[in-house]
Copies of this chain bind each other. A is one copy, B any other.
Amino acid sequence: MEGRFAARMQTVHRSFIREILKVTADPSIISFAGGLPNPRMFPVPAMEAAAGEVLSAMNGPASLQYSTTEGDPVLRSIIAERYAKKGVTVDPDEILVTTGSQQCLDIAGKVFLDKGDIVAIEAPGYLGAIQSFSVFEPTFVTVPLEDDGPDLAALEETFKAGAKLFYAVPNFQNPSGVSYSLEKRKAVAELLDRYDVVFVEDDPYGELRFMGEHLPPVYSFRKKPGLLNGSFSKIAAPGFRIGWVVAPGPVRDKLVVAKQASDLHTSTVAQAIMRNYLENNAIDEHVEAIRETYGAHRKVMVEMIERHFPKGVEFTRPEGGMFLWVTLPEGCSSMDLFDVAIKRKVAFVPGRRFTQTAGETTPCGSTFPMPIPNGSRKASPDWAKASGIS
């Protein structure tokens, strides 16, 4: 049986970050590796109360039964209302609840990608997306990420070359921390419309802005809307695996079919607990508390880098989210630095792989990403074994 694997399995690899995290399993290591939310910010008592109601004698039978592939309609309405508050108009029937936002990538791949299709991704780019799309054997082309978003000329080049799909994280990107400016959002939207490219806009961190002004998603500026992915992982808790994708009706219908083939539907119990939590708690206040905590950590991080890092080192100053990207001077290797740091009991994720995986080479190890420490700096064995890189 071992000799009979599909061809795609030669290009789909285990998470690189996961391998790094094994090294950081030692609890004496201070880890800046990976994007794990701060568990101190999880709304534990509220979730306990929600679970109690959901699994009461009255509600239990329905909460434990099979449910629809589309997801709980009330949960979808709540998601739509939260978009509306931010000025984004979304019909609940255009929302599909997914098993984490990672599943949005899998089903988008299923619905859109034939072998050899060109997928444009940011460089550096989110490894989880590269892993997910790789299953469908596309050709990846990378678009350099600048301080305010993608290099527009390079992006247009990939579109001209026939890119079918563009995947991006316009807010506080994983791994760079970069956010798209308003101008670049509009420009990207215009290019997408002009070349009719399928856009998968991943936005798990958009609400975690601790400075600057909230900007609408690229989705808002489109004439032909694309896919907009969201998640409760960073604003409530990742352990439920509840994300969603917004897509125009005919596309959502295809995504529903793809999800049905993947896992029938997302956990009824998990959706019911999340819905009950949202109905009975002020999540916006909770998100505000997360923002304050993460913002304070980011401030310390930036100050410490400014104070202690040598001249010639550059780094992004993210306005939100969980990631910060450091660029080493020409000739320095982030892989070598990792070896030095780990001996001093400090871990980070070398940046090299974030572009290399896409099949291109970058100046060897000139960069490394570093997530903002968020209060749980010590790697637990569980986290070390965790596969999560979103």
| A377 at interface, CB cutoff 8 A | no
Report how far A120 CA is from B122 CA in the complex, Å: 41
List CB contacts (< 8 Å) of A352-390 with chain B: 382-383, 385-390
Cα A106 to Cα B103 in complex, Å, equals 12
Contact B47 A60 (CB under 8 A): yes
Complex Cα gap A299–B386 (Å): 48
List of B residues within 8 angstroms of A117 by Cβ: 6
- Interface with B: A87-95, A143-151, A259-267, A343-351, which one? A259-267
CB distance from A118 to the nearest CB of B (A): 12
Partner of A263, one of B64, B112, B260, B263: B263
Interface residues of A in 232-270 (CB under 8 A from B): 233, 237-241, 248, 250-251, 254, 256-258, 260-270
Across-interface contacts of A257 in B (CB, < 8 A): 9, 12-14, 131
Which residues on B sit within 8 Å (CB–CB) of A254? 5, 9
Across-interface contacts of A273 in B (CB, < 8 A): 269
- Asked whether B14 lies within 8 Å of A256 as measured between CB atoms, the reply is yes
A100 sits at the interface (CB 8 A): yes
Distance between A100 CB and nearest chain B CB, rounded to angstroms: 5
- For A, the interface residue count at a CB cutoff of 8 angstroms equals 96
Known: A260-B14, A265-B241, A387-B265. A6 touches B44 (CB 8 A): no
A7: Cβ under 8 A from any B Cβ? yes
- Among A48-56, A289-297, A316-324, the one that faces the other chain is A48-56
Tell whether A61 is near chain B: CB-to-CB under 8 Å.
yes
> Given A44-B60, A263-B263, A387-B264, are A239 and B66 also a contact pair (CB < 8 Å)?
yes
Q: In chain A between 1 and 37, which residues have their CB closer than 8 angstroms to a CB of chain B? A: 1-2, 4-9, 12-15, 18, 36-37
On whether the beta carbons of B45 and A61 are closer than 8 Å, the reply is no
Is residue A132 contacting chain B, with contact meaning CB distance below 8 A? yes
Contact A136 B63 (CB under 8 A): no
Contact of A267 among B8, B36, B240 (CB under 8 A): B240
**Nearest-neighbor residue (CB-CB) of A389 within chain B:** B264
Does A230 sit within 8 A of B, measured CB to CB? Answer: no
A209 interface residue (CB < 8 Å to B): no
**Alpha-carbon separation in the docked complex, A114 to B137 (Å):** 11
Q: Which of A61, A66, A106, A136 has the largest number of chain B CB atoms within 10 A? A: A66
With beta carbons under 8 angstroms apart, the residue of B47, B55, B112, B264 that contacts A388 is B264
A111 in the interface, Cβ–Cβ < 8 Å?
yes
A:318-349 near B, CB below 8 Å:
none
Q: Which residues of B contact A198 (CB under 8 A)?
A: 1, 4
Asked if A189 CB lies within 8 Å of chain B CBs, one says: no
Chain B contacts for A36, CB-based, 8 A: 65-66
Neighbouring B residues of A224 by C-beta, 8 Å: 1
- Other 14 A-B pairs with CB < 8 A, given A66-B383, A67-B239, A239-B267: A6-B112, A9-B111, A14-B260, A42-B64, A44-B55, A47-B64, A51-B52, A68-B387, A69-B387, A100-B264, A135-B258, A135-B261, A241-B263, A270-B270
> Can you list 10 A-B pairs with a CB-CB distance of less than 8 A?
A5-B112, A8-B110, A14-B260, A67-B388, A102-B263, A106-B263, A134-B261, A239-B267, A241-B263, A264-B389
